[in-house]
Amino acid sequence: MLDDLSTNRKVIVSVIGFLVILVLAGAIIGSVNESGGERGQGQGSFDFKIGLAYVLGVSIVAFVSLAYTDFDKRIMVFFLVLTFVVFFFIKGGHLITLVTKLVGSEGVRATAGEVGWGHFTRFSFPLAVAGLISTLGLTFFTGRSLCAYGCPVGVFQELLYRVREYHKKARKILLPTKLTFGVRLAILGVTVGLILAFAFDLVQIVAPYQLWRLEIVIPGILIMVGFFVASLFSYRPFCRIFCPFGAIASLVAKFSIWSMSKDETCNDCGLCEKECPIEDCEKYGECYLCGRCVQICNRDSISIS
């Protein structure tokens, strides 16, 4: 799938560009290590780095592997299950909290003097910025590969939806992408507004990662169970309706260098549109590289390019 001259040039540009992004993010993270400070400051930064490294690494490997194998189902499921299991053992790299972390509860508490402002600027802020630079940078080059194969909440929803697909008569609910796109942006605005106005962190209430921390927190666990049950009937409802990181990532993914596309052999039969779980996914930056369009196409007209 990645063998013509123009594609090879894009590979080189993507590799060099992402390396530059990693160097920049690494320099920011390095500033945390060099800043010193009181004992206990920066606690959890090691977990964050390990988690972020895994998220970036598995997303890149999955993207390349699936591109070269025409989205082999066995390889795809392997990466989905891998991320689902791995996040029971690592604590950091949680994508959903990165956006709100910049103006999140810790930042508000620091402004209010509950924790030292130096603590926030020295540790939390640089790590959040570095995380966003690297994750959104990867999104610019490889689309939503990170949301698709690096986020445990995303992969769990994908696995649940695939369970439904084994039962062909099960009802499928297709959420209008224009509606979900607007709702998610509105929720992001409300989330940020609540933090700035009342220091109320909606993400912490929902607590999307509590399953992987083996925690039961009310009402968050009930909300997430609701999203997971909905995932049996509708494709990735949490990603498409609530996720703060997804709201930003979708805007970046609309301009990603690599994306699913059709070549001149396509006869516009419409099979891929019928099989895709998201209408107008490319238009809204909502292609999660599930490979269903590639697998249903009988002319091999669809690939990553």
CA distance to 42, 119, 195, 209, per residue, from 126 (Å): 11, 11, 19, 22
Averaged pLDDT for residues 239-254 = 93
What percentage of the chain has pLDDT greater than the value 70? Answer: 85
Averaged pLDDT for residues 200-228 = 88
Q: For the chain, how many helices (H) and strands (E)?
A: 16, 2
pLDDT at residue 41, rounded to an integer: 44
Per residue in 113-151, pLDDT (tens digit) is 666 666 666 667 788 888 899 999 999 999 999 999 999
CA atoms 80, 86, 91, 93: torsion sign = negative
pLDDT at residue 149, rounded to an integer: 96
Please check the confidence at residue 260 and state whether its pLDDT lies above 50: yes
**Least confident range of 132-136, 212-216, 256-260:** 212-216
Query: With contact defined as beta carbons under 8 Å apart, do 130 and 22 qualify?
Result: no
Q: Find, among 84, 91, 279, 96, the residue nearest to 184 by Cα.
A: 96
- Mean pLDDT of the chain, nearest integer: 84
Q: Find, among 107, 97, 95, the residue nearest to 134 by Cα.
A: 95
Per residue in 68-114, pLDDT (tens digit) is 898 999 999 999 999 999 999 887 777 887 777 776 666 666 666 66
Averaged pLDDT for residues 178-186 = 93
Q: What is the Cα–Cα distance from 28 to 129, expressed in whole angstroms?
A: 8
Averaged pLDDT for residues 22-43 = 64
Q: Find, among 100, 4, 99, 21, the residue nearest to 60 by Cα.
A: 21
pLDDT at residue 39, rounded to an integer: 38
pLDDT at residue 146, rounded to an integer: 95
- How many Cβ atoms from other residues are within 10 Å of residue 34's Cβ? 7
How many residues does this entry show for the chain? 305
Domain with 234, as residue range(s), is 5-304
pLDDT at residue 175, rounded to an integer: 84
Alpha-helical regions (H) of 91-241: 96-101, 105-111, 117-119, 125-142, 145-149, 152-165, 177-198, 202-206, 220-230, 237-241
Domain count for the chain = 1
